[in-house]
Structure 1
Amino acid sequence: MASDDIAQLVEALSKTHVGDGDLSFKGLGLKLDNAASVEELVRDIEHHQSLRALCLEGNTVGVDAARAIAKALESKDLLQRCYWSDMFTGRLRSEIPTALRSLGGALMIAGARLTELDLSDNAFGPDGVKGIEQLLKSPTCHNLRELKLNNCGMGIGGGKILADALIECHRSSSALGEPLKLRVFIAGRNRLENEGACALAKAFQLMGSLEEVHMPQNGINYTGVMALASAMRHNPELRIINFNDNTFTKKGMLAMVQALKQLRNVEVINFGDCLVRCEGAIALAGVLRDGLPVLKELNLSFGEITEAAALVVAQAAMEKPHMEKVDLNGNCLGEEGCEALREAMENMDKADMLASLSDDEGEPDEDDEEEEEDDDDDNESSDDDDATDNCNELSEEDDETVKENGIITKEESPEKARGPAEVMAFLSCPSVEKLLQLGDMRTTLQQQMDASDPHKGADALLKITSLYSEEPETRAAVFEAMDAVLMKLLSASTLQSYCFLSTLLVKMGLLKGEGKMKKVPLVPGQLLCLEHATQQKYFSQHHASLLHTFTSRNSGALKSCSATRERLRAALEKKCNNDH
């Protein structure tokens, strides 16, 4: 080693930070190629008798240098935290696994018990994961609390290897009476896709100890999101969930909000750039109404959310006592929508809570919406074929049917009672004559409604209300039947009632939905029925607020019923203002 190089290394090492048990060579830019190049560094490690944390970040370590460092680590049984991010810049990808095996092997020889391992920003790919596989399976990682593998290019293969290693670590540690309790998992920008996400979901569900999960920008769509959602439900201490820049769409978002409904400690949700869209946003608003009591930050930016849905989310978020920031930037609000959102926040004295709206995409074009819906259908079909088989090994507790509407329920028994023949005949082909013939059985329509099936509920409601007329007997019968249906559907959880209302809005043409859902030609009598419903006890203030938001901002969809539309809007506004 040249004398100039030695002098440079000595000068760099003089800047080394040595704390109580910590040794840091962070950001020194050292090019460590061989044993000679790390002599001073190794000496520092060897002389640090109570080494608990070693930071090599921001240097570049070759295979021979790694072996020399590893030799020094073989006696460091107190080492707990390894900050080894960004330490292979300029190295051949084939070198990295060998270097990692040397360093990991030394920790195992030492009998160290790691609590934190950071290997972020090392582009080692699946082979790099193989380089730490044995370390992750070993007793050295039984006490691991934080695992950071951000921007490592693991890919699907690396994700599967990592998941298997964590599962094995949990199995072996559990056998010793101290199961692995990983708290922080960071693996953004790794191209995990659905298969990698599904594999890791199994590990997350098994551990049940996560407090933070960061998996942004991994090419995961709704299939992988649904698997992750199922796993999240088994981690009750979750505080931070970051799945930014993946593709939820309606199916993934509804599965995720079903999980959020059960989590009480979540403080930060980042679903930005996840194609949440309107129905997903409304469902999340439903969970905000009932749950997430300590939520502080909500990011739904760049999700193709329109003005009315954004307002519904904002209204629910503003009621959270600990909320500090709501990010709805980059959506499809339009100039007037942005102003309406700002005004709504200001009126609640929450203006500081709203993030910038400088990147708003403007109101969507109707032709573009139709093309997107067709594309979604095609994409989801191909995704199902490619990925469904990789996400079907959950516990018996999660052997559930995820219906197309996104509400997760146990499979219905084939012996479930279908109800009186007259009621079933009416629902299959409604008519005024059949409705009147039902008599007292009209109230049993409630029993045929399933709060977990909003499509069935919305269809039934629209069919019943289409029979409205001013003839007193018919009007009374329609109101009675409608009240029975709505009493069941709106008395369910807020999430289920919001899913029903959003489905109803899609069918009425007031909300853009995903996929192909036939819109129903509306008649004035249907809006008069909704006006009646607003005056009933089962119709709450927040239900009225949701419908008022959409009816006030989608006048074109109700053009054929302009007079009754104004009556409905007035009734909804009265409910919003007077119901306590």
Structure 2
Amino acid sequence: MSVPTISNFNFANMAAQLNEEQGISFENKAETWNNAEDVKAVVEALNSQSIVHYLNLDGNTLGVEAAQAISEALRKHPEFRKALWKNLFTRRLVSEIPLALEHLGAGLIAAGAKLTVLDLSDNALGPNGMTGLEEFLRSPVCYSLQELYLNNCGLGPEGGRMLSVALIDLHKNAKEAGTPLQLRTFVAGRNRLENAGAKALSKTFKVLQTLEEITIPQNSIYHVGVAALANSFKQNPHLRVINMNDNTLGVRGAAKIAEVFEHTPLLREIDFGDCLLKTDGAYHFAEALEQNHEQLELLDLSNNDINFDGGLVLVTAVQHKPKLRIFNLDGNCFGQSGSSQIVAEMAKCKNPAALQSLDEVLSEEEGEENNGDNDDNATPDNSDDDEESDEHADDDDEQDDDGDYDPNDTTEEVDEDDDEAYVTSNAYTTKLFNDSMTSNKTSNNFDMTIKNGNKTLSTIACTPEIFCLSQTPCTLQQFDSLEANNKLDAFHNIINLFDEDNHLLLLIFTSLKCGHLAQTSPAALELAISLYQATFDYAIRTEQETRVLEYYLIQLGLLRSEERFKSEYNMKGCRYALREAIKKKNFANDNIKNTFNTFLDQLDD
């Protein structure tokens, strides 16, 4: 028998065999594992197989006793490196999840495993579940962690904070042990992190500096949280994927993210679809992406209220991206003509096939209606409670780095004590309207240059024009001295000189100006009621009742807006007038009445 020589061996094949993944999968078995007997098949597989690189338990439901049995079997596998445990705790009690996780983690710690992938997605962890992971995430098992998946885990702001602290500690522990953490992939979409959770995680990203993928869609993050994240993204120059789909950047957030692109030249995929970037946000992105980023493969900016001009600028920005495979602008406000021109311009680029279908494009008229003036106020349902953060969003992250975390910074509830600070920073939020206010281009050509800043018009003789067109409320004395026999007709004569959004906004703010005085003037109250009615008559007639309803809720401090500022209006007076209007039999419709009543019933005034 000949003895093999070294030349007979294929070292490449040997290395491949050693590195070939071997593991156990019970994926999608829909098993219910309550105790050791239930999970016997998993334990036997772990005990009988000498090499187990991964264990896939996705799509089953695991109890505490069963988890303990698996933990004992895992202790025999120091070679273990991938924990694929998503969708594992369906129908489990809140108290069971952290205990089960503690058992699983203890087994790997005892084994001395070196984990590279941890996937706990689609488990209702929340902060409670995070308590079962904290020790494990700080342990030597995770010093080698490269990919972390916590998608759809219900972490919330507090869970995000707990995760952030654990990962920062992990980084510190791994560095001290001489095995620096090299986390590359972080996925935590659909976790309701909000601004507070985003700011907490931004600290982690700043520390890590090794990330190649950050995927955090659908987390109710607004521009304050975005600003903090943007600063942390800059510290991760190897980023290849950024996905913040379905958060709310607004124009200010878009500007902050655009600054990131200069620091992340290796980007392959950029997904900011459904982020309310608007046209100005598209300009920011286009300018930042036009140069470099030749490796870009995917750019998703769909459903962002971007008009035709913004779409063309983006097409120009990607025309020299030869590797671009997917360029999604669907669901924006181009109109049929505009989308045809965008397709034509894209055809001139190196990668025309990258442009996705524009079948769902809004008309230009709908685009203008939804787009407003690219103001961030169109996102009323969440913002940040920290006044300093909102007023200084540009340096929010730096200011927050050394401060204590506030677990109440979730912005879900309306604070009645300062609700007057949550209206719109400029009463006339549509750019078209602002332009017309100073253009002198009305049908009667009367003076349209009433621009008194934030000063209440207490010393100016009041006319119907001043009352309707001023950007601040008038005094009771001015109201009483109005030069009109029939104030309602006089107001409508002014309002009817404008059309579309301008007409609608004048109706809204004239009703608020009357409501401002409603508690001290029966005449003003009567006018406010009539104008509230007229506004919703117009809204229903033009099929804009939902839009107008939400806008009033913001203006009345009942629903939070992205902008934070002090209103000039007497909110209690405006709400008092609205309550009286709602009592009228023919006011609007039941849906509008019920919605208003739901919000108003939460207040004391």
Structure 1-normalised TM-score? 0.63
1:50 aligns with 2:47: no
Deviation at 1:94, TM superposition (A): 2.0
Where in structure 2 are the equivalents of 1:425-440 lying within 5 Å?
none
Q: Identify the residue that residue 583 of structure 2 maps to in structure 1.
A: none
Shift of 1:364: 4.3
The aligned residue for residue 33 of structure 1 is 34
Question: Per-residue deviation at 1:331?
Answer: 0.6
Q: How far is the alpha carbon of 1:23 from its aligned partner? A: 1.2
Deviation at 1:348, TM superposition (A): 3.4
What is the CA-CA distance between 1:24 and the residue it aligns to? 1.1
**8 Å Cα contact 1:56/1:83 also seen in 2:** yes
Tell me by how many angstroms 1:48 deviates: 1.7
| 1:7-41 superposed Cα distances (whole Å, 9 cap, x missing partner) | xxxxxxxxxxxx85211111111111111111222
* Residues 70-79 or 141-150, more deviating: 70-79
- Corresponding position of 1:553: none
2:280 and 2:374 in contact (8 A); partners too: no
CA distance in 2, matches of 1:285, 1:239: 18
Q: Matched residues in 2 for 1:71 and 1:60: separation? A: 18
> 1:338 and 2:339 equivalent?
yes
Counterpart residue type for residue 281 of structure 1: A
Q: Does residue 1:375 correspond to 2:377, yes or no?
A: yes
Q: 1:217 maps to which residue? A: 218
Q: Which residue of 2 aligns with 1:571?
A: none
Q: How does 1:345-356 map to 2 (within 5 A)?
A: 345-348=346-349, 350-356=351-357
CA contact (8 A) 2:261 2:289 kept: no
The whole-number CA distance in structure 1 between the counterparts of 2:90 and 2:432 is 44
Indicate conservation of the 8 Å contact 2:282/2:306, yes or no.
yes
SS in 1 for 2:299: strand
- Report the equivalent of 1:502: none
What is the identity, as a one-letter code, of the residue corresponding to 2:231?
A: S
- In structure 1, the partner of 2:284 is 283
Within 5 Å, give how 1:4-403 maps onto structure 2: 20-348=21-349, 350-365=351-366, 366=368, 369-370=371-372, 373=375, 375-376=377-378, 385=387, 392=396, 394=398
The 3-state SS of whatever aligns with 1:347 is: coil
Q: Tell me how far 1:109 sits from its aligned partner.
A: 1.4
- Does the Cα contact within 8 Å between 2:320 and 2:349 map onto a contact in 1? no
Per the alignment, do residues 284 and 375 of structure 1 end up closer, same or farther by CA in structure 2, a change over 3 Å counting? closer
Work out whether residues 389 and 396 of structure 2, in 8 Å CA contact, stay in contact via their aligned partners in 1: no
Q: Tell me, what secondary structure is at the counterpart of 1:323?
A: coil
1:188 partner amino acid:
G
1:70-106 superposed Cα distances (whole Å, 9 cap, x missing partner): 1111221111100000111121222111101110111
Task: State the distance in 2 between where 1:349 and 1:208 align.
Answer: 34
Decide whether the 8 Å contact of 1:240 with 1:267 is kept in 2. Answer: yes
Distance (Å, rounded) in 2 between the aligned partners of 1:244 and 1:284: 15
Distance in 1 (CA, whole Å) between partners of 2:123 and 2:243 is 21
RMSD: 3.1
Moved more, 263-272 or 278-287: 278-287
In structure 2, the CA distance between the partners of 1:299 and 1:82, relative to structure 1 (3 Å rule), is same
Instruction: Specify whether residues 379 and 33 from structure 1 end up closer, same or farther in structure 2 by C-alpha distance, changes over 3 A only.
Output: closer
Percentage identity across aligned positions? 38
Structure-2 change in CA distance of 1:319 and 1:394 (3 Å): same
| Structure 1 residue 311: Cα displacement | 0.7
Amino acid at match of 1:90: R
C-alpha distance in 2 between matches for 1:380 and 1:162: 22
Shift of 1:142: 0.6
**Which shifted more, 327-336 or 31-40?**
31-40
SS of the equivalent of 2:132 reads helix
CA distance in 2, matches of 1:192, 1:25: 31
SS of 1:238's equivalent in the other structure is coil
Aligned-pair distance for 1:290? 1.9
8 A contact 2:145–2:183 mirrored in 1: yes
How far 1:177 moved relative to its partner? 2.4
How far apart, CA to CA, are the structure 1 residues paired with 2:433 and 2:383?
A: 11
Which amino acid in structure 2 is aligned with residue 44 of structure 1? Answer: A
Change (3 A) 1:373 1:380: farther
Give the Å deviation of 1:324. 1.8
1:133 shift after superposition? 1.0
Gaps of 5+ in 1: 1-18, 399-511, 524-580
Instruction: Name the counterpart of 1:442.
Output: none
Q: Provide, for residues 259-288 of structure 1, a one-character-per-residue CA deviation record: whole Å limited to 9, x for no partner.
A: 111211000000000011111111111112
Structure 2 counterpart SS, 1:54: strand
